[in-house]
Structure formats: structure tokens, C-alpha cells
Chain A
Amino acid sequence: MTDAAVEHTERSRLPTRRALLGAVRGFALAPALVVLFIVGIFTSPAFFTTANFSNTAQFSAALGMVVVAESLILLTGSFDLSLQSVYGLAPMIGAWLIVPKDGQGLGTHWNPAIGILIVLAIGGAVGLFNGFMVVKLRFNAFIFTLAMLILLAGLQQGIVSGRTIYEMPPSFIYLGSAYWGGFPVSAWATAAVFLVAALFLRYHRVGRAIYAIGGNLEAARAAGIKVDRVRIGVFAVAGMLAAAAGLMIAGQVVAVTANQGNNLIFTVFAAAVIGGISLDGGRGRMAGAFTGVVLLGLVNNVLVLRNTSTFWIDAANGAIILVALGVARVVGTDKT
């Protein structure tokens, strides 16, 4: 074989190798997941059962949906802390308008379908507002969305005076309470959202624009991408996803508490970053974020099955997040 031919085959082989490398990086957490599985199997006979996986999926579904939302914003190089308050406030207002007075509702008895639309509309509107303020008026994303987080969480408390809304109609909580084929609808929905988001980011022109904006905003603008519109749009979509996730959790616990969503955002960031979504924007994949969510779900599951004291679960979670970040650093998901 001549040198040129060797070089040629070498070059044609490169892309496959690179794709393989990309796939490995996308699933950098796979070894950690395998370890967790093994630990789980040895921990309890209840681990490797459909019922347990179904429960874990249920537990992770709402979190996963918010992780998709935050990841989209992170990819454009920004972030929104107030997603956790949208997650609480939006279903709270929706439920408040449809349940009877003795379920802590307003007493308006609106149709549940309208309630669901209102939930999504609130999410979209808050996202749109945040996006506009951060992108157009150039407020600092951290401080502005933190203020929104506090404000919206306060509204959530204030509306019901700290009480819990219950007696929600089955159609309103269908997303969080029904099962299809032995698995919760919420898990199917979140899986579908992950898949659609991944395909959208990979194959849709706007999806590629999201990566371009996060990678180099000025260059994206110079290429004719409508940078502001995409960035604000992503905030709005993320708001809606967070609201839908809030609806899921409301369905699971068959109630909306006045502090639903508290502290959620930390776990969301942890899952996204563990999954290789860069905080600098422009880097990371939905597949990675998905494994991040699964990892956190399994960790929690294993800790519960081991009868770890609830008082220690947070500490264990924190430690495991640190370890996962270390692994991600070594494997290189946060480098290229």
C-alpha cells in the first residue's frame, strides 16, 4: 500500500473513531451505573424488580424533565434558577383554580383541561419574562432569576397561606399518577421529552443554533442566527417543561404543597453537570444529561434500600455528586 493510500484509509477511518469517542463521552457515566447496579443487586433482593425500577423511574421523571429544561438554557450559555419555583407555583395556581374550597381551592371550579393549559401558560410566561430580562435588558442571569425564584416561591406560599391543595380531579393529575405497561406515564413522558430534545438538538436548525450561540455568541450572530430570539425562546420552552414537571410531581403525591420545588434546582444542576452539560455553554448532550438523572435516581434508590437514615441521604448524595464530577473530569466530558 502506498503512503497516500494509507493516509487515505486512515483519514476515512478517523470519523468513525471520533464518533465512537463521542459516544463513549456521552455515556461516560456508564461504568458508574454498572457499579451502582451491582451494589444494588447485592444490597437487596427488592432492587432488581420491575416494581423497584418503576418506582425509581417515577421518582426521577419530574427531575428529568427539569434537567432537560435547564440543559437547554445551559447550552445557550445562560441559566435559570427560578425553574424550581415555576415547578411549584404553576401547578399550584392551576390546581387552586379547579379544586373546591374544602380542598384549599379558590372555589372557581374551572375545567381541569383549562387548569392544565394555565399551568403550561404560567411556565411559558415566566420563562419568556426571564429570557427577555436577561437577554434583552441584560440583567445578570444569576441575580435576576434568583430574585424570581424567591418571588415566585413566596407567591406559592402566599396564595394558599402555606396550606396544601388536594382533592384534585383525576384528569388533572393523570400525567403523574397513571401507568402504561407497568411504568408510570410520567416516566414515559420524560423519556419522550429527552428523545425529542436530543433529536431536535442534533437535527433541527434551531437546535444547532443553540450550540452555536453557546459556543461563540458573536460568531453565531455574524452567521445570521437570530441570537436573541433563540435564547429567549429557549427560556420560554424551559419554563413550560418545568411547569409540566411540577404537574407530574403533583400527580404523584396527589397534592400540591406550599413548598413543592424547594431546593430542586441544586439537584437539577448536579444532574446536568454530571451528565456533561457545560456551564460555559455550547457543550453537552441530552444522552449525557439523561445518564446524569438515572445516576442520581439509582443512588437515591440504593441508599433507601440500604435503609440509610434519611438524615444521611443528603450527605451521601453530595459525596456521590463530587465523585461523579471527578470521574467526568478524568474521562473528559467537561473538556472537549
Chain B
Amino acid sequence: MTSVEGTDSGRPDQFRPPAADAESISKAFGRTKALQDVSLTVEPGECHALVGRNGAGKSTLVAILTGLLKPDTGSVRLYGEPAPSLSDRAGWQERVACVYQRSMVIPTLSVGENIFLNRTEGSLVHWQELRRQSRKLLLEWGFDLDVDQLAAELSVEQKQIVEIARALAIGARFLILDEPTASLESRAIERLFERIRRVKESGVAILYISHHLEEVYEVCDRATVLRDGKRIVTAPVTELDHEQLVTAMVGGELARAIRDQTPRTDDAEGAPRLSVRGLSVQTPLGSVEEVSLDVRAGECVGLFGLRGSGTVAIADAVAGLVKPSAGAIELDGGPLQPGRVDIALRKGVGYVPEDRHARGFVPTLGVAENLTLPILERLSRWGLVSSNKRQAAADALSVRLQIVASSSEQPVAELSGGNQQKVVVGRALAAQPSLLVVVSPTVGVDVASKEALLGVIDAARKDGAAVLLVSDDLDELRICTRVLIVRRGKIVKEFREAPWDRHELIAAAEGLEVAA
């Protein structure tokens, strides 16, 4: 069988320029230096891992390597040639292809058409030719897909195959995979690795971006670690042990332990307030299987895990936003009806959702109105809301949370991010919940607001509420009395003794064991 990649493979002795060669790239957004003097080369036939925590600069580097952003300084060469100009989209597409986490497959079209999307020669589509070509391409790369199937019917894994096939069909020999395993189950991940090896063998260069370090060891040849926009290290994975990798990602010894503000666990007493047993939830952004946990009054349990690990799914299920497929959730010994936000709310569950813009507040309404939305029933008589009572309740919350607004009538949309988040948290606290479920409460807020928010949540716990805190920010975890690590939908480890060790937390979440 003749193969498209024939010319690239089998001539290792001949000099080949690197597939991608980024030289001392710097890029700033305003005052934020996203990348500083970062260099990276990816050789043909190599799978190169790009790792770093959120905000390390990975996405910026990918945007520069795919021609979506122009570096402030530095240059990009692809297969020895200077990169095309930003406006030359076709030029970029022929050289580099990126498979994003967000699917770029068109659900209403067939597999074959998706592969050759907008790549017909001339103005008419030759259906037979298109089918033949896409079938040939899929066969050559060993992808098992029916070209006539509608993309909407494909699994996540199959859609990914379509995107890889599309990139290869264009002729790109440099492939960027952005967290390709994020929504795959473990057997699909194995098959993906198999595909990556096959594509690699034919001389295609791969830049592999992942949070999961164990994957890096499994499929990648070299790894580059970014931290705070700087390249920390590039080395063959065989020469990097787990400890070195985690240290490179997290930073030096300085920040080894999280500041100890952690209260004693003695406050927690008696029967569990929240009891989760055998919970299984499937959501597009992470799923969990058979998870069990308890939260007592006066306890703040942290759920720490990577994005997509399922931590948010647990919180959403407890709050009633998603309906679990199996398992029981009990509050004070009584069952919580699954998938019913209203009932959870009435029984005393306060919820601070992850996406505050989508479901945290009503941007056009004022501060006071937003704060009192969940307790209107209590403030009204015969359906008429008493404005005095509402004002009193809102004022009390505003003071407690130190909300800065021109008046309690000011629309929340006009507030700063930190104050918006205070409104969201205040709303959850308004009904004096016995269980507070909080997801990443301080994402994107300034330092002062962060302190205030964490202080209020901690105070609610001291007053006897049970708190379930979902976070991927280690700093937020300092108010926890216990931390559970979630990885790939399972609770894998429990930490009971504060202060938490950053390395241990991250290593557990990444699935690595760090030698003590």
C-alpha cells in the first residue's frame, strides 16, 4: 500500500529540520507577561509534552504555534521555513493542525465530509471521490470509522479521530493535541496512545499538552515544563523523575507548605451532615463513579482534583443541578431527591456555582435583590415582598461580605469581579444553609476579595455549617479541615493533617507518587 507519509519516513540519516522551532518567544498582554523568552523545538517523529499548571502560558504558546497570535519578540519556523503571516490561514493549516478540547467537528455532516471539509477541488463535490479518499485515509492510518456515519452519532473518541484525520488530510505534519484525554475513558485513552505512536512512527511531530503527568511518561519522548510564562526545563522524559517534574511545575522549596491557617478538626462532631454513598454522575465536564464521602457540621472538606476529574460533578450532584445515575445523597440522615435544586435549597443547601456569570447572579438586577433572591419567600407576605425586610437582610450580608457598591440598587453587572463573587457567596449564605457547597469561590478575584471570601466561608463553618469546597487552587484549600483528592472520577487519597504539602497534593491529583 502506498502511503501519504512514505516520503517522510525511513530516512533517519538525512538531515531534517525540526517540525517546529520556536525561538525565544515573548508575549505580553498588557502588563501580564504570558511568555518570556521561551524556546521549544519539536522534531519529526517526536512526541513532545508541554506541561504546566493553569496560567503557565501553554495556551499562549499554542496560539503562537498555530498562527492565532503573533509573538512580541522571537520567531517561529515550521519545517525549516519561516512561519506564514497571521492572515495566511491556509498556509498555517497546511503546516500545523491543532486538535482542541472543544470539538471542531460539524455534527450534521458525515465523517467523510468532516475530514475533507471545505477542501473540495473546484466548486462541485464529488461524493464518490470524497468517500473513497476519506476511506483510504482512515485505512492508511488504521482508524476504524465508517465514512458515511453522521458525526453527531460519534463518541467523543471517534470525533477526536475525525479531527486528527482532518489534520492529516490537509497534509499537516505537525500536530498539537490539547488535553486529548480530558474526556476519554481509560480504554479509549489506550487506543489514543496507540494511534499517537503510529502517527509518530510515520514522521509526524506531535506536541502533547496534558495535565496528567503519567500520560507524559507513557507516550512522550521529551517534555518541556512551563511555569509563570517561563521555560523551566526541557529534557527527555527518561531523564526526568516524578519529583523533578512536579517541582518544575509547582516551583521551588519556598512554597512547599501552604500557610497554616487551618483550624483544628475538633470542631467537627457527631453524625455526618452530608453523606454521599456510591455516587455516579456523568457530565461532559467530568464524571465520577461510586464516590462516597461524609461532611460533618463544623467541617470544611476540600475536593481537590484536576479539571475534568469529576470534583465539580460531585458538587453539582449534591446541589441538585445534575441528576446522578446512581448513588444516594443524604442530608442530616434524610435523603435528598436527586436532580432537584429547589428541594436541596429548601432543605438548607447553599451553593456557589463554578460559572458565576452563567448561574451565579442576575446581572441586570441590583445587589440587594440578587442577595435576597433565594429567601424571598421569607421576606414576603401573600407574595408581596417587604422592601424594609429585604433591605435589612441585604445590608447585613453586604456588611458581612464587605461588598463595595455605590448603592444596594446598583446592578451586579457593574461591580468588579471580586464584588460580584461576594454577591454570589452572599446569596448562598442568605438562607443560613446547614450545608454550603462552594466551587472555586475565588477564581479570578483580587487578593483582598479572596481573603474576605475565604474568611466568610471559614466563619460560616465555625458557626456550625458543613462546607464542601471544590477547588483546583491550592491556596483556597487552606481553610479546609480535610482534603480529598479526586482523580479520574474516584477519590484516591485523603489528607487529614494540615498543613497540606503542595507536592503531595499535586502528585496525588496527577497520579504520581513522590518519594518522600
B122-157, CB under 8 A of A: which get 1 and which 0? 111101000000000000000000101110110000
Contact B146 A214 (CB under 8 A): no
Q: How far is the CA of A336 from the CA of B153 in the complex (A)?
A: 9
Contact B106 A219 (CB under 8 A): yes
Q: Count contacts between A and B, CB distance < 8 Å.
A: 73
Q: How far is the CA of A220 from the CA of B108 in the complex (A)?
A: 12
Say how far B230's CB is from chain A's closest CB, in angstroms.
30
B109 at the interface (CB under 8 A from A): yes
* Known contacts A205-B125, A208-B113, A283-B108: A223-B146 contact under CB 8 Å: no
Contacts of B118 in A (CB 8 A): 205, 208-209, 212, 220, 223-225
Contact B108 A214 (CB under 8 A): yes
Q: Give which listed residue, B106, B123, B124, B153, contacts A212 with CB less than 8 A.
A: B106
A138 at the interface (CB under 8 A from B): no
A206-245, CB under 8 A of B: which get 1 and which 0? 1111011011101110111100000000000000000000
Q: How far is the CA of A15 from the CA of B111 in the complex (A)?
A: 12
If over half of A's interface residues share one DSSP class (helix, strand or loop), that class is named, otherwise mixed; here it is: helix
List residues of A (296-336) whose CB comes within 8 Å of B's CBs.
336
Contact B148 A18 (CB under 8 A): yes
Contact B117 A203 (CB under 8 A): no
Residue of A nearest to B166 (CB): A223
* Most interface-central of B103, B109, B150 (chain A CB within 10 A): B109
Contact B125 A215 (CB under 8 A): no
B93 at the interface (CB under 8 A from A): yes
Contact A14 B148 (CB under 8 A): yes
Tally of chain B residues near chain A (CB < 8 A): 26
Contact B150 A215 (CB under 8 A): no
Residue of B nearest to A19 (CB): B148
Contact A220 B106 (CB under 8 A): yes
B516 at the interface (CB under 8 A from A): no
Q: How far is the CA of A229 from the CA of B235 in the complex (A)?
A: 47
A282 at the interface (CB under 8 A from B): yes
Contacts of B148 in A (CB 8 A): 14-15, 18-19
Contact A216 B104 (CB under 8 A): yes
Contacts of B149 in A (CB 8 A): 18
Contact B109 A205 (CB under 8 A): no
Q: How far is the CA of A214 from the CA of B109 in the complex (A)?
A: 10
Q: How far is the CA of A190 from the CA of B150 in the complex (A)?
A: 30
Contact B150 A219 (CB under 8 A): no
Q: Give which listed residue, B107, B117, B125, B127, contacts A223 with CB less than 8 A.
A: B117
Q: How far is the CA of A11 from the CA of B131 in the complex (A)?
A: 14
Say how far A286's CB is from chain B's closest CB, in angstroms.
15
Contact A222 B104 (CB under 8 A): yes
The 4 A-B residue pairs with the shortest CB-CB distance in the complex, in nearest-first order: A215-B108, A282-B108, A215-B106, A219-B104
Residues of B within 8 A of A (CB): 89-90, 93, 103-109, 113, 117-120, 122-125, 127, 146, 148-150, 152-153
If A205-B123, A216-B104 are given as contacts, then 13 extra A-B residue pairs at C-beta distance below 8 Å, sorted by A number, are A18-B149, A204-B123, A205-B122, A211-B108, A211-B109, A219-B103, A220-B106, A223-B117, A224-B93, A225-B118, A282-B107, A283-B108, A336-B152
Residues of A within 8 A of B (CB): 11, 14-15, 18-19, 202-209, 211-212, 214-216, 218-220, 222-225, 282-283, 336
Residue contacts A-B, CB under 8 angstroms, 5 given: A203-B127, A204-B125, A215-B109, A220-B106, A223-B119
